[in-house]
Structure 1
Amino acid sequence: MMRKPGLQALLVASLAAGVALVGLCGAWSMDLGSLRRIGQGAFPMATSILLLALALASLFTRAGPAGERPAARTVVMVGGSMVAFALLLPVAGLVAAVIVATPICAAASSESRPLETLALGLFLAAGFAGLFVYGLGLTIPLWPE
């Protein structure tokens, strides 16, 4: 017997499907390439199709019991961390943006400790610099210009 999806499930699935359709529209005119040499549109097309499939599948899965709502502090600090990273990246560079965003995000939890947060920020900054700038060759500024 199939269950009727609730309003929240419909809204979440609609949002995910809308994002997937925007991604599909954006990737539609891009070159997909071949299996040996994928083009610039292959990854956005594949992730958009996967997101659309997950949105449709979420309508037919049985949800478990409702969990607790996240605390307002958690939502504000994680969101603030993303905003800080986005604003600092072009001005201060990747290293500073990651080191500043990490403690803001860590403040969402009462269990985070300053020394561990600093170590995590340094580790993430080094890892992101190694992966994105040196490994993938992306033109992201590491330091302020």
Structure 2
Amino acid sequence: MYQFENDDSQVLEQLLREQIVAYNQAHFDAQRLPLGCKFVDENQQVVAAVAAQLFGNWLQINWLWCDEKARGQGLASKLLSAIELKGKQLGALQVQLDTLDFQARPFYEHRGYEVKYQLDNYPRSGTRYFMEKSLS
């Protein structure tokens, strides 16, 4: 017999993630390969960076960030180009990311990304955009 329990913990979330990832790996013919690059200042502090992963034919950009003091110098564009090239060299044919309405949609559109799907009222009154670009 099973007993129902409420559990809002991160421990439960991590357990579920591990179980689903393990199950999915048995059905995918690709492994996730982490990719990233960054700009650092004279003190070796990160001022701009991108973190992504290669998964089969897809490059998934997870995070692209530029410190306020370093904005307007083209660092984000250089990071995006570098991670796309890295992904393409490793076999990525498509790249995917998401951004919020107050973040960088025009930045990505200017670089060839298109909105494929959007979540309105996210999380309450904003919009979350899922964007893609072909690397071929």
User: Does TM, scored on the shorter chain, surpass 0.5?
Assistant: no
The structure where helix makes up a greater share of residues is: 1
Which has the larger Rg? 1
TM-score (norm 1): 0.28
The structure where strand makes up a greater share of residues is: 2
